[in-house]
Amino acid sequence: MNQTLQQPRRVERLVTGQRTSDGAGVKLTRVLTSDLQQRLDPFLMLDNFASDDPEDYGAGFPDHPHRGFETVTYMIEGRMRHRDSAGHEGLLRNGGVQWMTAGRGLVHSEMPEQENGRMEGFQLWLNLPASDKLRDPWYRDIASEEIPEFTTAEGVLVRVIAGQSQGVAGAVQRERTQPLYLDLHFPPGAIEFRQPLPAGHNAFLCVYRGQVEVLDAGGQATPVPRQSMAVLGQQGDGVVLRSAANGETPARALLIAGQPLREPIAQYGPFVMNTREQLLQAVQDFQSGRLG
Ligand code: MN
């Protein structure tokens, strides 16, 4: 099916991820940093971890709390075990997703379950509306084979983690933020992919293999290099992407969009609330063991 778009969105700016570390010293690239939280509302953070060296990831993310938002962990390659204070446990592996709603809070660990080999994946933080920030925690482990996918006529494999694309509904839907989360695998060559985007939804593209271009209405291409993020402009009814012809590595990219909440964002580390008072309460609740 060919999607007709009247006004494709342009690249507003290109952002290079920041090298940092988190947890017990896991090296990662923070693609969506806190200064972009307002602009990319309802998304708060996107981390990309990718390394063949166990020194970079082996220490993992020991017990830590969360409150007020959702974490979406997408494992491209490797094995990560999570355990939480409610007694839940699961193993996230190649191509699988863990979607966790922290809600009023929990304490969990996310630990690599491998001593060598490659560990690669993403963790996205999706904000919750004020009315849901103290809801019951929830999570779902979605194995790779449970993620709906399809291949376009042009040969692009589309994995629909959330939202919908060309009539295929993703593994997770959220009414308020309406997140779209697509993992796009382009075949070699210069291949196009079009995705309509609702007006007013914030959207960005993160390329993790090869190179992808964003095409405007006149066919003008803005290249988005690997490990960088393109913030898409707010004007337009969708996005037209094209894999770069000269890349020897077939391109892969995440296309993420959502409806902004337009509520105040107050963050203190792993707690994201609306006010400073709510953050103090979260810290108090954690320190007194009320997060589990
Ligand atoms: Mn966590």
pLDDT tens profile 6-57? 899 999 999 998 999 999 999 999 999 999 999 999 999 999 999 999 999 9
Question: What is the reported pLDDT for 145?
Answer: 97
Q: 236 and 10 in contact (C-beta within 8 Å)? A: yes
Q: Look at residues 24, 38, 109 and name the one whose alpha carbon lies nearest to residue 71.
A: 109
* CA pair distance 26, 123, nearest whole angstrom: 13
| Dist. CA 11 → ligand 1 center (Å) | 31
Q: Look at residues 235, 244, 255 and name the one whose alpha carbon lies nearest to residue 122.
A: 255
33 φψ region: left (φ > 0), alpha (ψ -120 to 50), beta (else):
beta
Low-confidence ranges of the chain (pLDDT < 70): 1-3, 247
pTM comes to: 0.96
Q: What distance separates the 2 farthest-apart alpha carbons in the chain?
A: 59
Question: What is the reported pLDDT for 33?
Answer: 93
Let me know how long the chain is.
Answer: 292
Question: What is the reported pLDDT for 96?
Answer: 97
| Dist. CA 109 → ligand 1 center (Å) | 6
Domain membership of residue 4 (yes or no) is no
Domain membership of residue 94 (yes or no) is yes
Looking at residue 73, which CATH number applies to its domain?
2.60.120.10
Domain membership of residue 5 (yes or no) is no
| Dist. CA 169 → ligand 1 center (Å) | 26
Cis amide leading into 42 (omega within 30):
yes
| Dist. CA 238 → ligand 1 center (Å) | 32
Token readout for 1 is 């099916």
Domain membership of residue 292 (yes or no) is no
Domain membership of residue 2 (yes or no) is no
Domain membership of residue 93 (yes or no) is yes
Q: Look at residues 36, 242, 27, 248 and name the one whose alpha carbon lies nearest to residue 120.
A: 27
Question: What is the reported pLDDT for 1?
Answer: 47
DSSP state letter for 135 = S
Domain membership of residue 6 (yes or no) is no
Report how many domains make up the chain: 1
* CA pair distance 178, 196, nearest whole angstrom: 14
Q: 126 and 159 in contact (C-beta within 8 Å)? A: no
Domain membership of residue 1 (yes or no) is no
Which tens digit of pLDDT belongs to each residue from 226-259? 888 999 999 999 999 999 877 678 999 999 999 9
The separation between the first and the last C-alpha atoms of the chain, rounded to the nearest angstrom, is 48
| Dist. CA 110 → ligand 1 center (Å) | 6
Task: Give the domain range for residue 158.
Answer: 11-287
| Dist. CA 39 → ligand 1 center (Å) | 23
| Dist. CA 24 → ligand 1 center (Å) | 12
